[in-house]
Amino acid sequence: MISEPRCVVPTGDACGEGVVWHAAHAAAYWTDINRFLVHRFTPDDQCVRTWFFDEPVTALTLTDRDDTLAVILGSKVVLWEPRSDRRSEPVYRLERWPEVRLNDACADRRGSLWLGSMRNNVNADGSAGTAGGRDGILCRLDPDASATQWCCDIGIANTLAWSPDGFRFYFGDTLDNIIWVYDYDPGTGEIKNR
């Protein structure tokens, strides 16, 4: 273990986010939101590969298929196969894009994808816009493609996580500098008692 952080991949990201370790690929994937990129780093050979998307790439998550990741873009969620660069039609589209964009996401043990949004602060050319407002929502996208909104009036939706026992759900708003905890029902995927 090292005592000081060190740069292992100098990609020059404008806004690097959402590192995901993919054990089957022996690789780390992450996004550069403002440059519309997904990067992959394989420590064994020190190789970096990068893919370009047509809008901000805000988050990534594993799926139940080793060859496929869920890619959360500003306006939508697609399934993506890195080996072939195959990209599905959207499995979810965010209303009010481009005024609002998706920001963070994480899958629960049931296979549902929790998505948070915010006022869009990335211009069409990737330059930084202004964050603010209370335009964000928190919603859950279930495996049958149905979406349920759980919260609204969020500044910047961020930090989605579950307790190790699976009975607590954590969710934050960066603009309010707060993380909430909810009771989480692992059977139904419902949250309550913020």
Per-residue pLDDT at 3 = 84
User: 3-state DSSP: the chain helix, strand, coil percent, rounded to 5?
Assistant: 5, 50, 45
Structure tokens at 186: 């692992």
pLDDT average, residue stretch 36-46: 97
| 77 vs 70: CA distance, rounded Å | 7
Q: Mean pLDDT throughout 34-41?
A: 98
Omega of the bond leading into 143 within 30 degrees of 0 (cis): no
SS3 state of residue 34: helix
Report the alpha-carbon distance of residue 21 to residue 41 in Å, rounded: 10
Contacts of 9 (CB under 8 A, 6+ apart): 39, 41, 48
At residue 6 the predicted structure's pLDDT band, cuts being 50, 70 and 90, is confident
AA identity, residue 6: R
* The residue to which tokens 């979810």 are assigned: 92
Question: Backbone dihedral region of 132: left (phi > 0), alpha (psi from -120 to 50 degrees) or beta?
Answer: left
| Confidence at residue 1, expressed as pLDDT on a 0 to 100 scale | 64
What rounded mean pLDDT belongs to the chain?
96
Q: pLDDT of 71-129, one tens digit each?
A: 999 999 999 999 999 999 999 999 999 999 999 999 999 999 999 999 999 999 999 99
Q: Record the tokens describing residue 68, joined without a space.
A: 């496929």
d(CA 139, CA 155): 14
Q: Rounded to two decimals, what is the model's pTM?
A: 0.95
